[in-house]
Structure 1
Amino acid sequence: MFSRSELLSSATAFCDAFAQNKDLDTILSHFSTTHQVSAVEHGEKALLPFLGRSFEGLDGVRSYFHIIAALLSYENMVFSEFTVDSEARRVACKGKAKFIWSETKESWTETFAYMVDFDDEGKITDYQVWADSGAAYLARNGELDKVRKVCTI
């Protein structure tokens, strides 16, 4: 069984690699090769191609990260408030970053949440994300800045 400190170390290593825009092979090296893996970004699947569906297996997880990289970029990503459940081998954390929709160049800063499950070797089996799908959807359609001008309450 992995200890609390080992789970925290595995989670922060993954988050640091993502925050530092490491290459996809480095990101995927944090995922299990002995268990079925998945990536899910929660939200309405009709809004964006990476929302609301489970990307299964290493090829599926690779596809998820390819889609994200093709549509978005991000800056100044930081993670905080790591919560470790060593019995469930799960770590949750909060992240914050500025995201830019590549096609429209519209950007937004958001706080998001990760929940990551690990195998008995400290490798990720399940990666879940909760983020601001509304801002991403509006940015994709080039409407985020227009909505900001209207909603100045």
Structure 2
Amino acid sequence: MKPNVAYARVGDFLLMAHPETAPTDEEWDRAVEAIREAADSGARALIVHTLGGGPNAAQRKKVAAMWEARGAMIDIAVTTPSAMVRGVITALNWFLSRPARAFATLREAMEEVGASPSQQPELIVAMEQLKDQVR
């Protein structure tokens, strides 16, 4: 069975991919820990691609609590074709000190979070690998 969330650290960035389905609570707890560890170790941003899946309301509260406990957030950029997910991002932003931003393309998301042109090819390849893991 394929996971409902996959993630990997690539240089200064944590990449995450979701299929159409939401992560289980166990999957989300592990993902939040990976986000915290990446942020604590100097990751500059979280770049997420989703086909529609993402955290539910209780899971969004968990990640918001993690950011609050840390005292600082990293940038978050989300790529999605889903209007519903853009609404979830809006709801998540109610709990965050820094808003996440939604984009149509990975290139736009990478530019938003400051990925240099030399970093972008590696990020694109890694994101495609993560997307393959969850499809």
**TM-score of the superposition, structure 2-length normalised?**
0.26
Structure whose residues are more often strand by fraction? 1
Name which structure has the greater RCO, CA cutoff 8 Å, separation 6+. Answer: 2
